[in-house]
Amino acid sequence: MLGLGPQEWAALGLSLQVSLVATIVALPLALWVAWILARREFRGKIWLSALVHLPLVLPPVVTGYLLLLVFGRRGAVGGFLEEVFGLVLAFRWTGAALAAGIMGFPLMVRAIRLAIEAVDPRLEAAAATLGAGRVAVFGLVTLPLIMPGILAGAMLGFAKAMGEFGATITFVANIPGETQTLPSAIYAFLQVPGGEAAALRLVGLSLVVAMAAVVISEILARRVARRIAGI
């Protein structure tokens, strides 16, 4: 099927696993941060927004190196996690999920924030005047309206995680069966004679996955616009 070899299937499976875990773990935090940026005014808001979007403008290798410094076995957080919970991130697939989640986080936050900002605050205020608490207002009014935006953000984050290379290879290296995702496998195949055919197959597979994610995200974004406009 698809003419993929064992190493290619392993890279695909690991990419899907890493991207799914990264998206599921990052999504709740992205929703919370997006809501804060969209609905709250506070000192330092511009710095929080800049910090959220920093992975988009930093070279991915820099992000990966910073992750290695902080979450490596000798890092403050990485050492603590290993000593207390026995959790090792550097050079493990869990570290690949962390790197992919961080790189996709800004896209998730931006999509969700735009969806929240498109919701008329008067709808939330009206629900509050009827006696609904803050949590109830969010769950019954805001959340249903922004759900397409949340899904769009999740798809963008998933697609970014599937294509992440620089931060991942710097933080967790390129270990077949352990940390070798699709981009890493493509890079590895291109480094050996005769590996072009396998690399080309994985490139085609990556294009299909990325295009599907972007198209789905665009469809969901349009649904957000139509829902808010009442069409």
Quote the number of domains for the chain. Answer: 1
pLDDT of residue 217: 75
Burial of 36 (0-12, 13-18, 19+ CB in 10 A): middle
State the Cα–Cα distance between residues 154 and 107, nearest whole angstrom.
Answer: 9
In-domain check, residue 16: yes
State the Cα–Cα distance between residues 29 and 133, nearest whole angstrom.
Answer: 21
Closest Cα partner for 208 from 15, 30, 57? 15
Total residue count of the chain as it appears in this document: 231
Task: Name which residue leads in pLDDT, 108 or 40.
Answer: 108
pLDDT tens by residue, 35-52: 999 988 888 899 999 999
pLDDT tens by residue, 53-74: 999 999 999 999 999 999 998 8
The mean per-residue pLDDT over the stretch 110-116 comes to: 91
Amino acid found at 126: A
In-domain check, residue 190: yes
pLDDT tens by residue, 149-207: 898 899 889 989 998 999 999 999 998 888 999 999 999 999 888 888 888 988 988 88
In-domain check, residue 67: yes
In-domain check, residue 47: yes
Alpha-carbon dihedral 119, 120, 123, 129, rounded to 10 degrees: 120
DSSP 8-state code for residue 142:
I
- The CATH number covering residue 96 comes to 1.10.3720.10
pTM of the predicted model over 0.85: yes
Which residues have C-beta within 8 Å of that of residue 201, sequence separation ≥ 6? 2, 3, 4, 8
pLDDT of residue 1: 45
In-domain check, residue 1: no
Contact present, 206 and 186 (Cβ < 8 Å) = yes
pLDDT of residue 87: 87
**Helices 6-39/45-57 angle, 10° precision:** 160
Q: Residues of the chain with pLDDT > 90: what percent? A: 44
State the Cα–Cα distance between residues 65 and 50, nearest whole angstrom.
Answer: 19
Domain that holds residue 109: 6-229
pLDDT at 93 over 50: yes
Q: Which residue has the tokens 């800049």?
A: 50
